[in-house]
Structure 1
Amino acid sequence: MVRVLFLHPDLGIGGAERLVVDAALALKQRGHEVSFLTNHHDSTHCFKETADGSFPVQVVGDWLPRKLFGRFYAFCAYMRMLYAAFYASFFMPQREQVDVVFCDLISVCVPILRLARHRPRVLFYCHFPDQLLSSREGLLKRLYRAPINWLEERTIGLADKVLVNSKFTLRVFQDTFRHLRTTPDVLYPSIHTQYFDQMVQKLDQRCTVLDDTVHPRVPRNAFIYLDINRYERKKNHALALRSLRLLGDMLPALDFKRCRLIIAGGYDTRCLENVEHYAELEQLMTELKLQEHVVLLRSPTDEEKCRLLYSAHCLLYTPDNEHFGIVPLEGMYFTKPIVALNSGGPTETVVHNSTGFLCEQEPKSFGGAMYQLFRDEALRLKMGDLGHKRVQQKFSFDAFADRLNSIVHELRPKSSSKKLE
């Protein structure tokens, strides 16, 4: 048994948060003692495993500002994580000291953890280089980001082990951090298939009793395109809307009347971009005259998301150069064909013309795939079945858990191993 602490900035709802929760579940299943330390945790806006007592969750430093004068988000995030790292290293009670710290997103905490009296081993999971996630337009922005970017590269190199989420991210990592001698290993995220299996069983039973619909604005005979992603501009939800408009021009009016696009995105009122982009999508929906065909949902629960995946006919995945993308795996496991952009992580999960379509970033290409799936039910069902099998064979939760378990055992300090023996 290894004592593992997950150090994460904000245990909200997102791909990075889903990864750390699944990693914690995997290690707990393998008999390890797992806990979380975070700067922020809202029990009404999080994955249920962090709120239902599955793991101890401790919040430190939430009183520190998230921004200064409406800016300096990265600086504040680094300061908050430094505070958490100091707490974990020097102020955590002796009985709560750990063997391995799993941290991600912000690497500035790594050198602080190495200074801890009990010296835990540090595992850093790189979803994507932080410096590439922010726009660096203008001289002042570049000057502001320069020391932060320098710190990111130097501090990642101090971790005992570095993992990345895809071969695509590995290439970007090596191109970005050219001074590092560290060669990360690829650990693909997985999905908690046992939970999904339980939900499918419940939904199967429900459907035999109730003839209801997934949403009041979605008719029972609707053909549902589902788009799951946070309400951020880089997630490119506008492509789904414009492609749906083009689909409406290709289909007969009676057929298009059945079509519905459900966008289900993470939405946090503390995040200005979430609020602004949601309003932008509402406006675009009106401009394209799609009000009757589109439903915008904010922060669906795990159960709601499962019901959406269960009821949908096709999953749309619109981000360009996404680092990995857990949603296509979820869609494939629910036997849904995937329509995604031909870039980034989806090129490693979606097999073109087999489990879905990899398209160009334009409505003509995306809408054409949506049209083909609407017209060809046999193809849609075949792709869904192949997608489910691909997740089982290549991205199973057991394989993910076994690999992570092996890495944690390798990292465990020798002194800890002797004590356990």
Structure 2
Amino acid sequence: MVRVLFLHPDLGIGGAERLVVDAALALKERGHAVSFLTNHHDSTHCFKETADGSFPVQIVGDWLPRKLFGRFYAICAYVRMIYAAFYASFFMPERKQVDVVICDLISVCVPILRLARHRPRVLFYCHYPDQLLSIREGLLKRLYRTPLNWLEEQTIGQADKVLVNSKFTLRVFQDTFRRLQVVPDVLYPSLHTQYFDQMERKLEQRSALLDEPVHPRVPRNSFIYLDINRYERKKNHALALHSLNLLRDLLPLPDFKRCRLIIAGGYDTRCTENVEHFAELEQITADLHLEEHVVLLRSPTDEEKCNLLYSAHCLLYTPENEHFGIVPLEGMYFCKPVVALNSGGPTETVVHSSTGFLCENQDKSFAGAMHQLFTDEGLRSKMGEQGRKRVQQKFSFGAFADRLNEIVQELLANKKDE
């Protein structure tokens, strides 16, 4: 048994959080002792496994500010993570000391973890270079980011092992951190399919007993396009709205009246962008006169999300150059064809014209795929079946758990050799 600690900034709801929770489940199933240390954890805004007692979760440093004067989010996040790393290294009780620390998102904690007396092995999972996630505007922003970018590169290089989530991210990593000699391994995220199987059986039984709509504003005979992603501008939800508006011109009016777009996104009132962008999408919906056809949902629970995936006819995935994207895998596992942009991680998960469509970042391209899926039920069914098979064959949870377990064991073996 290996004692594994996951060090993560905020255990909320998002792709990064889903990855670390699934990684924790994988290692727990392999017999390891797993726990979480985080700066923030809200039991009403998180994945259920972090709130139902599946894992011990300890919160440190939540009293530190998340921003200063409405700005400086990055440096505050770095300070909060440094505080957590010092706690893990020097103040965590002996009985809670660990063999391996798995951290992600913020690498500044890595050298501090290496200073601990018991010297755990440190694994850093790079979802995407942090410096590329912030839009640098103007001289002051570039000056502010320069030392943080330097720190990111230097501290990632001190990890005992670095993983990335896709071949796309690997290329970006190597182009961004040119001074590093590190060559990360690719470990694709996976789905905890056992949970999805349980939910699918539950939903099938319920639908056999109850003839209820997925949402009060969605009639039973609706054709549902589903868009799942956080309420952030880079997630490009507006593309789905404009594509739906264009679809109105491609379908006969009676058919379009059946169409519904459900956008279900992570929403945190502490995040200004979440609040602002939700209001922006409401305004776009009103400007396009699509109020009858669009439902905006905030932070659906795991069960609600599964119900949406089960009830939808196809999944829309709108971010451009997304580093991986777990949602297309979820859609394919629920036998839904996926319409995604032809860039980033989805090019490694979605097979064009087989499990869905890879489109250009234009409403015309997206609307064309949406129209084809609406009019061809046989194509939808075939793509759905092929999508589920692809997840089972290429992104199985068992293979993910086995590989992660091997990596953890190798880290400890290398420590003994040293």
Structure 1 and Structure 2 fold alike (TM over 0.5): yes
Asked whether the equivalents of residues 121 and 415 of structure 2 are also in contact (C-alpha less than 8 Å), the reply is no
Relative to structure 1, is the Cα distance of residues 415 and 126 closer, same or farther in structure 2, using a 3 angstrom cutoff?
A: closer
Equivalent runs, 1:125-136 vs 2, <5 Å: 125-136=125-136
2:369 pairs with 1:402: no
Asked whether the equivalents of residues 247 and 367 of structure 1 are also in contact (C-alpha less than 8 Å), the reply is yes
Superposed CA offset, 1:251-283 (max 9, x none): 011000000000000000000000000000000
Q: Secondary structure at the match of 1:39?
A: strand
Q: Which runs of 5+ in 1 are unaligned?
A: none
Instruction: Output the CA distance in 1 between the equivalents of 2:249 and 2:192.
Output: 39
Given residue 389 of structure 1, which amino acid in structure 2 is its aligned partner? K
2:382 pairs with 1:382: yes
Name 2:74's counterpart in structure 1.
Answer: 74
Deviation at 1:137, TM superposition (A): 0.8
Instruction: Output the CA distance in 2 between the equivalents of 1:388 and 1:80.
Output: 40
Instruction: Output the CA distance in 1 between the equivalents of 2:48 and 2:413.
Output: 31
Name 2:314's counterpart in structure 1.
Answer: 314
Name 2:150's counterpart in structure 1.
Answer: 150
Equivalent runs, 1:220-239 vs 2, <5 Å: 220-239=220-239
Equivalent runs, 1:296-315 vs 2, <5 Å: 296-315=296-315
Name 1:112's counterpart in structure 2.
Answer: 112
Name 1:14's counterpart in structure 2.
Answer: 14
Name 1:49's counterpart in structure 2.
Answer: 49
Instruction: Output the CA distance in 2 between the equivalents of 1:67 and 1:106.
Output: 16
Equivalent runs, 1:174-189 vs 2, <5 Å: 174-189=174-189
Equivalent runs, 1:25-36 vs 2, <5 Å: 25-36=25-36
Deviation at 1:231, TM superposition (A): 0.2
Name 1:269's counterpart in structure 2.
Answer: 269
Deviation at 1:412, TM superposition (A): 1.5
Superposed CA offset, 1:275-328 (max 9, x none): 000000000000001000000000000000000000000000000000000000
Given residue 267 of structure 1, which amino acid in structure 2 is its aligned partner? Y
Instruction: Output the CA distance in 1 between the equivalents of 2:277 and 2:229.
Output: 12
Q: Secondary structure at the match of 2:38?
A: strand
2:103 pairs with 1:103: yes
Name 1:141's counterpart in structure 2.
Answer: 141
Given residue 290 of structure 1, which amino acid in structure 2 is its aligned partner? L
Instruction: Output the CA distance in 1 between the equivalents of 2:340 and 2:28.
Output: 33
Instruction: Output the CA distance in 1 between the equivalents of 2:34 and 2:121.
Output: 15
TM-score by length of 2: 0.99
Name 1:355's counterpart in structure 2.
Answer: 355
Relative to structure 1, is the Cα distance of residues 260 and 415 closer, same or farther in structure 2, using a 3 angstrom cutoff?
A: closer
Instruction: Output the CA distance in 1 between the equivalents of 2:416 and 2:215.
Output: 52
Q: Secondary structure at the match of 2:5?
A: strand
Given residue 31 of structure 2, which amino acid in structure 1 is its aligned partner? G
Superposed CA offset, 1:151-207 (max 9, x none): 000000000000000000000000000000000000000011000000000001001
Q: Secondary structure at the match of 2:267?
A: coil
Q: Secondary structure at the match of 1:412?
A: helix
Given residue 312 of structure 2, which amino acid in structure 1 is its aligned partner? A
Asked whether the equivalents of residues 168 and 323 of structure 1 are also in contact (C-alpha less than 8 Å), the reply is yes
Instruction: Output the CA distance in 2 between the equivalents of 1:387 and 1:208.
Output: 25
Name 1:165's counterpart in structure 2.
Answer: 165
Question: What value does the CA root-mean-square deviation take over the aligned residues?
Answer: 1.1
Name 1:344's counterpart in structure 2.
Answer: 344
Deviation at 1:414, TM superposition (A): 6.4
Name 1:246's counterpart in structure 2.
Answer: 246
Q: Secondary structure at the match of 2:339?
A: strand
2:261 pairs with 1:288: no
Equivalent runs, 1:362-377 vs 2, <5 Å: 362-377=362-377
TM-score by length of 1: 0.98
Identity %: 84
Instruction: Output the CA distance in 2 between the equivalents of 1:200 and 1:20.
Output: 23
Given residue 182 of structure 2, which amino acid in structure 1 is its aligned partner? T
Instruction: Output the CA distance in 2 between the equivalents of 1:367 and 1:127.
Output: 30
Instruction: Output the CA distance in 2 between the equivalents of 1:386 and 1:259.
Output: 24
Given residue 214 of structure 2, which amino acid in structure 1 is its aligned partner? V
Q: Secondary structure at the match of 2:171?
A: helix
Asked whether the equivalents of residues 99 and 413 of structure 1 are also in contact (C-alpha less than 8 Å), the reply is no
Deviation at 1:413, TM superposition (A): 5.7
Name 2:63's counterpart in structure 1.
Answer: 63
Asked whether the equivalents of residues 22 and 190 of structure 2 are also in contact (C-alpha less than 8 Å), the reply is yes
Q: Secondary structure at the match of 1:343?
A: coil
2:205 pairs with 1:205: yes
Name 1:335's counterpart in structure 2.
Answer: 335
Given residue 255 of structure 1, which amino acid in structure 2 is its aligned partner? D
Q: Secondary structure at the match of 2:45?
A: coil
Q: Which runs of 5+ in 2 are unaligned?
A: none
Instruction: Output the CA distance in 2 between the equivalents of 1:188 and 1:410.
Output: 18
Instruction: Output the CA distance in 2 between the equivalents of 1:132 and 1:304.
Output: 32
Deviation at 1:416, TM superposition (A): 7.4
Q: Secondary structure at the match of 2:262?
A: strand
What is the total number of aligned residue pairs between the two structures? 418
